[in-house]
């Protein structure tokens, strides 16, 4: 797409249902003032320490946060000449000092490098050390780029703040807001760039409704890299980065469909879907009975790491467990995983969870004489069948090692497949296998409800789900 910088005054009048939505999602004055009072106190504490510069980043810094959001990100900018070890040591020391002063308790979390999270006056505050670098081209860690994002958006977003709020709430209602590994959706920064590029919310949705794989948006016209993701939004402050890299094709086209539905029949309901989030245990059991399939779930303790590390390992482990089931003859219709605060779940819907004791094993063709003779030698005394020939190839009927999927999932075979490192460490301490409606776990209620009744966001809305 061509470079596009909209004129601040060129916005169409807003329809009443969007004004109605804005009245609900704009932060109230008291909420706004409280957030900035906390932020100002924290910045003063950083300045008083003298080791780093403090900076508010993210949606709070740009006044593009939704009412009810309680997140506040304070970056601690240290001189670029520090080593990574010095940054982590000094950064954590300062973050701990501030957290102790304002919150008493705190949690240390780990992404590319450690940071501190604390609840301060009702806000979820991240205190994140980073380098103060001259340009985004000179970043030394991924978080060093964030202050440049804040400055870029802050200079341009003022005429479009309400449009960004609508875009974020629309994506949230669609279920695609969040660039975390579990959601694979739209980050706040991505929403801001898309609104800027389109010149407002009203123009953004028709553009998004026409997206195709490979759609490219480049606000500054400076792309220096060919991206492979389905949506390519070149970072204005770092042309080697795709801001939409976390957005999966599934989430992208769920959003496309939702935009088309809204444009066809716009209403405030698109911003605030009314359907229940969870079926509840009884509704889940009824839905499972209607499908007539066999549900299996593995649950285990959540590894003590951030979702960006754990979730990819969950997906890798899920694929390996699915492969294990397939190799043993259990056909999987669909599968998914979720990470909870204390427990993780791998859930698999099988077309059959019990199989007969016999399975057929295919051997080499007889014209591959050496291997055919080895195969025959191995199975001359097989109790179910001697090797037999079909279309010039050896076959043999064997006793199936597992006739019940649950037995397979409880066996040590699970630990022998390609699991993520930290997932395997957790599984080695033990896991539980659940069957049928016993797979229901209240903490995963919304996830399991969506799993057992797959539907696109627009389909859910039309069906009142």
| Spatial strand order in the sheet of 71-79 | 53-57, 71-79, 123-132, 114-120, 107-110
pLDDT mean over 30-46: 97
Gap between the Cα atoms of 414 and 321, Å rounded: 7
Going by pLDDT thresholds of 50, 70 and 90, the confidence category of residue 12 is low
Domain 280-354+403-463, CATH: 3.30.70.590
3-state class (DSSP) for residue 392: coil
> What's the whole-number mean pLDDT along residues 261-284?
89
What's the CA gap between 374 and 274, in Å, rounded?
A: 65
**Farthest CA pair distance, the chain:** 86
Banded pLDDT at 55 (limits 50, 70, 90): very high
Return the pLDDT at 4. 41
Q: 252 phi and psi, to 5 degrees?
A: -60, -45
What's the rounded mean pLDDT across residues 6-12?
44
Give mean pLDDT, residues 367-391: 94
Specify the domain boundaries for CATH 3.30.460.10 within the chain. Answer: 16-270
- Residue 113 is predicted with a pLDDT of 78
- Residue 7: the pLDDT is 41
> Which of the two residues, 29 and 1, has the higher pLDDT score?
29
Q: What is the pLDDT of residue 44?
A: 97
Measured CA to CA, the distance from residue 319 to residue 335 in angstroms comes to 9
pLDDT the model gives residue 386: 86
What's the pLDDT score for residue 184? 95
* pLDDT of 318: 98
Residue 56 scores a pLDDT above 50: yes
pLDDT, average across residues 154-171: 96
What are the start-end ranges of the H helices in 301-444? 307-327, 369-379, 405-410, 421-427
pLDDT band at 10 (very low <50, low <70, confident <90, very high): very low
Tell me the average pLDDT across 158-165. Answer: 96
Exposure string for 390-417, b = 16+ CB within 10 A, e = fewer: eeebbbbbeeeebbebbebbeeebbeeb
Stretch 231-238: mean pLDDT: 94
The model's confidence at residue 276, banded by pLDDT at 50, 70 and 90, is low
pLDDT at 275: 63
Given the DSSP bridges, would you call strands 231-235 and 215-217 parallel, antiparallel or unpaired? parallel
Question: Which residue spans of the chain are classified as CATH 3.30.70.590?
Answer: 280-354+403-463
pTM of this structure: 0.88
pLDDT at residue 137 in the model? 80
Q: What percent of the chain has pLDDT over 70?
A: 97
Q: How many CB atoms lie within 10 A of CB 222?
A: 12
pLDDT for 97 beyond 90: yes
pLDDT of residue 13: 80
When pLDDT is cut at 50, 70 and 90, the band that residue 224 belongs to is low
Per-residue three-class SS string for 339-377? ECCCEEEEEEEECCCECCCEEEEEEEECCCHHHHHHHHH
Architecture of domain 358-399: 2-Layer Sandwich (3.30)
User: Which pLDDT score is estimated for 9?
Assistant: 40
Residues 411-433: tens digit of each pLDDT: 999 999 999 999 999 999 999 99
Domain 16-270 CATH class label: alpha beta
List every span in the chain annotated with CATH 3.30.70.1550.
358-399
Q: pLDDT-based confidence at 462, cuts 50/70/90?
A: confident
Q: Which residues are 132's β-sheet partners?
A: 79
> What's the mean pLDDT in 264-276?
86
Q: Is 136 helix (H, G, I), strand (E, B) or coil?
A: helix
């Amino acid at each position: 797409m061509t470079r596009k910088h909209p004129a601040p005054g060129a916005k169409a009048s807003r329809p009443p249902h969007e004004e109605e939505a804005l009245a609900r999602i704009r932060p109230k004055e008291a909420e706004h003032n409280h957030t900035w009072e906390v932020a100002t106190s924290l910045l003063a504490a950083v300045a008083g320490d003298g080791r780093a510069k403090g900076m508010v980043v993210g949606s709070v810094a740009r006044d593009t946060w939704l009412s009810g959001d309680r997140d506040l990100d304070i970056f601690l900018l240290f001189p670029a000449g520090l080593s990574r070890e010095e940054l982590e040591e000094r950064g954590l020391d300062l973050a701990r000092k501030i957290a102790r002063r304002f919150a008493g308790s705190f949690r240390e979390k780990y992404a590319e490098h450690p940071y501190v999270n604390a609840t301060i006056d009702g806000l979820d505050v991240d205190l994140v050390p980073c380098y103060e670098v001259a340009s985004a081209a000179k970043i030394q860690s991924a978080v060093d780029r964030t202050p440049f994002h804040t400055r870029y958006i802050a200079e341009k977003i003022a005429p479009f703040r309400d449009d960004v709020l609508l875009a974020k709430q629309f994506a949230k209602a669609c279920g695609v807001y969040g660039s975390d590994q579990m959601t694979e959706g739209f980050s706040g920064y991505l929403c801001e760039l898309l609104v800027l590029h389109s010149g407002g919310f009203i123009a953004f949705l028709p553009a998004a409704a026409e997206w195709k794989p490979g759609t490219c948006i480049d606000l500054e016209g400076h792309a220096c890299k060919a991206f492979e993701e389905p949506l390519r939004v070149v970072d204005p402050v770092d042309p080697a980065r795709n801001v939409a890299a976390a957005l999966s094709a599934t989430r992208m086209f769920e959003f496309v469909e939702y935009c088309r539905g809204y444009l066809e029949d716009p209403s405030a309901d698109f911003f605030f879907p009314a359907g229940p989030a969870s079926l509840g245990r009884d509704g889940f059991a009824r839905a499972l009975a209607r499908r007539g399939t066999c549900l299996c779930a593995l649950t285990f303790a959540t590894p003590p790491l951030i979702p960006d590390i754990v979730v990819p390992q969950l997906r890798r482990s899920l694929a390996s467990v699915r492969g294990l089931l397939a190799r043993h003859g259990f056909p999987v219709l669909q599968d998914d995983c979720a990470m909870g605060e204390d427990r993780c779940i791998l859930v698999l819907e099988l077309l059959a969870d019990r199989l007969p004791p016999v399975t057929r094993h295919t051997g080499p063709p007889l014209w591959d004489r050496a291997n055919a003779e080895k195969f025959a030698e191995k199975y001359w005394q097989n109790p179910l069948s001697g090797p037999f020939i079909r279309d010039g190839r050896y076959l043999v009927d064997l006793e199936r090692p597992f006739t019940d999927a649950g037995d397979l999932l409880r066996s040590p075979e699970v630990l022998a497949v390609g699991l993520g490192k930290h997932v395997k460490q957790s599984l080695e301490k033990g896991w539980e296998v659940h069957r049928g409606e016993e797979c229901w776990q209240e903490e995963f209620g919304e996830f399991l409800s969506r799993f057992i009744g797959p539907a696109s966001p627009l389909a859910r809305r039309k069906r009142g789900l």
